[in-house]
Amino acid sequence: MNKKTKKPKVCIGTVEVSGFGRNLSLILNKIGIDTTQIELEIHPNYKNKTSKLLFQRIIYFLNKSLSQNTSSRFNVPIRMLLLVLRLPFQFFIFLWALVKFDTFIFLYGSTFLPKKVFKYLDWKILKLFNKKIIVVLMGSESRPPFMDGMTLNKYRDNDGRLLVNAAHLNKQCLKIKSNLNQIENIADYVVSNPLSSQFLTKKFVNFVKLGFPFSVSPQPILDDNDDDNSLIKILHAPSCRHSKGSDKFLSSINILKKKGYNIEYKELVGVPNTQVLEEIKNCDFVLDQLYTDSPINGFATEAASFGKTVASGSYVYGQIQSDWNCGFTFPLHLFHPDHLDEAIEMLINDAEKRNMIGKGGREMLLTRNSEENIAQRYSDLINDKLATDYFLNPNDLQYVFGGGVSKENIQLMSQSLIDTFGTSALCLDDKPSLQKRFLSEIKIKNHEL
């Protein structure tokens, strides 16, 4: 008599990133995998309205109180009290999840218990009880900090200028490398973008090839207006203005307006996702980011779902398939960051190309990257059935330009790091080929291998 295969019960948490957790939970449930999303922090733009856990709501309240007590050093005792009060409820949710679920998908390297204090103790306990752990890295927690725009934003002054702090940057490199080593040692699978995985040491699952989960309406999309005299509506919705290149986008738009183009440019910051979706419907194309190392993210996927062209700057320009290791081409308008003005102007003038790229992106979301196909891939991963060609060896990585930051700023920060601590401070000694390429491409001076 054959034993009936037990269906996994999946927990996705403990943070939300660009709607990824919410969407993955929805599509897994649609194919019959019992999935629950648990957020211990409220995402301002992607609020989870389905939470019924009392402890989770209490944590939400305490987190809101914490965010309101950050401005003054006199609030430190209050913050400490709130952190202590929050801890028991985090333990209760963890113990409840330990009993209820057998597979855990952690986004952004998140944990149930404070990482600084417990050092992934909750993950280790999960493994003791034979629970499966899948970690989905989203970028900034895996990239080397000297090539990560979000990390380098911490080194900017009030005027937005990047300040060099080699000692602090060195500590950040060691911290991220250490965190990733712990993640790799505990997790059953690590999912990551190949272009932000330079610090990984073990085989990982290609995030880009799996796809970004999203539900697309099958209702046909109307063609873009090809009237040369019509108003061109361009949308940009950055999660972080510096790392997305927002100032340069705005400068480029102003230059094109002076050339006589009739442009309506909207930049949305910190607004609900529902508002972003409405604005996407009404625009001609979107500007995603200027220094991307990923062809897929929340905003780009949302735009493609409505048949809108996604324009992104990237140093990957011209070598998409080889660098993302996917074997297929992404329908987006990818351009070199130095050619921003020309890229926007071309899209303004060529409605036919906009329609072609937009339709191609939407078609991919209805076929190769449909919610059913992406859900099945994650189901295969959960059940240890994912095909071997989805796995990558970090020793084969060659991309060195990071994400969310210009080549010049990578050079500035890494040169200071090497001048102060030597090339070993890059934490790439285990990948001599990648380190050599980095030193050459970023044009680091006076270094020794």
Residue 188 lies in a domain: yes
Mean pLDDT across the chain: 89
* One domain for residues 201 and 263: no
Q: How many CB atoms lie within 10 A of CB 273?
A: 19
Please check whether residue 160 lies inside any domain of the structure.
yes
- Give the mean pLDDT of 399-419: 95
Contact (CB, 8 A) for 150 and 404: yes
Q: Are residues 85 and 177 in the same domain?
A: yes
How far apart CA 93 and CA 97 sit, in angstroms, is 6
Residues 192 and 72 in one domain: yes
Task: Looking at the structure, tell me whether residues 49 and 181 fall in a common domain.
Answer: yes
- Structure-model confidence comparison of residues 159 and 380, the more confident one: 380
Please name the residue ranges forming H helices in 31-70. 54-67
Q: In DSSP terms, which residues pair with 133 in a beta bridge?
A: 104
pLDDT > 70? residue 220: no
Q: Which two tokens stand for residue 51?
A: 């939470």
Give the model's pLDDT for residue 418: 96
Q: Has residue 289 been placed in a domain?
A: yes
Residues 30 and 174 both lie in one domain: yes
pLDDT score recorded for residue 82: 74
pLDDT of residue 145: 97
Domain boundary among 322, 337, 370: 370
Triad 420, 426, 432: Cα angle to 5°? 125
* Residue tagged 């080194």 (tokens): 155
pLDDT at residue 307 in the model = 95
CATH number, domain containing residue 312: 3.40.50.2000
The answer to whether the predicted template modeling score (pTM) of the entire model surpasses 0.85 is: yes
C-alpha to C-alpha distance for 389 and 423, rounded to whole angstroms:
33
Asked whether residue 72 carries a pLDDT value surpassing 80, the answer given is no
Measured torsion, CA atoms of residues 160, 198, 294, 440, in degrees rounded to the nearest 10: 70
Please check whether residue 415 lies inside any domain of the structure.
Answer: no
Do residue 206 and residue 256 come from a single domain?
Answer: no
Please tell me the distance from the alpha carbon of residue 287 to that of residue 285, in angstroms, as a whole number: 7
Phi, psi values for residue 172, rounded to 5°: -65, -40
Q: Which tens digit of pLDDT belongs to each residue from 221-235?
A: 655 554 545 899 999
Helix (H, G, I), strand (E, B) or coil at 291: coil
> Could you tell me which residues come within 8 angstroms of residue 159 by beta carbon, excluding any fewer than 6 positions away?
none
Domain closes at, from 346, 370, 394: 370
Q: How far apart are CA 329 and CA 254, in angstroms?
A: 32
Query: Is residue 348 domain-shared with residue 306, that is, in the same domain?
Result: yes
Q: Kindly report, residue by residue over 87-130, the tens digit of the pLDDT.
A: 888 999 999 999 999 999 999 999 999 998 999 999 999 999 99
Only one residue has tokens 């700023």, namely 409
Q: For the chain, state the CA radius of gyration.
A: 22
Tell me, yes or no, whether 404 lies in a domain: no
* Residue finishing a domain among 335, 370, 405: 370
pLDDT band at 160 (very low <50, low <70, confident <90, very high): confident
Is 77 within the bounds of a domain? yes
Q: Enumerate the H helices of 187-271 as residue ranges.
A: 207-210, 241-244, 246-258
Domain that holds residue 275: 232-370
Does residue 416 lie in a domain region?
Answer: no
169, 237: one domain: no
List phi, psi (to 5°) of 189.
Answer: -140, 140
Which pLDDT does position 296 carry in this prediction?
81
Cβ 170 vs Cβ 421: under 8 Å? yes
In a domain, residue 385? The reply is no
Residues 55 and 204 in one domain: yes
| Contact status, residue 213 vs residue 371, Cβ threshold 8 Å | yes
pLDDT at 21 over 80: yes
Which pLDDT tens digit goes with each residue over 126-146?
999 999 999 999 999 999 999
- Number of separate helices (H) and strands (E) present in the chain: 18, 12
Separation of alpha carbons 441 and 426, rounded Å:
14
Q: Say what the pLDDT of residue 69 is.
A: 58
Q: What is the pLDDT of residue 1?
A: 43
C-alpha pair distances (Å), 21 with each of 112, 204, 353: 15, 19, 33
The structural domain count of the chain equals 2
| Tens-digit pLDDT profile for residues 34-47 | 999 998 876 655 55
Tokens of 434: 């990648």
pLDDT of 174 strictly over 90:
yes
Q: Do 246 and 298 have their domain in common?
A: yes
Q: What are the CB-based long-range contacts (under 8 Å, 24+) for 51-56?
A: 53/93, 53/96, 55/89, 55/92, 55/93, 55/96, 56/93
Q: Per-residue pLDDT for 73 more than 60?
A: no
The verdict on 203 and 334 lying in the same domain is no
Q: Check whether residue 24 and residue 163 sit in a common domain.
A: yes
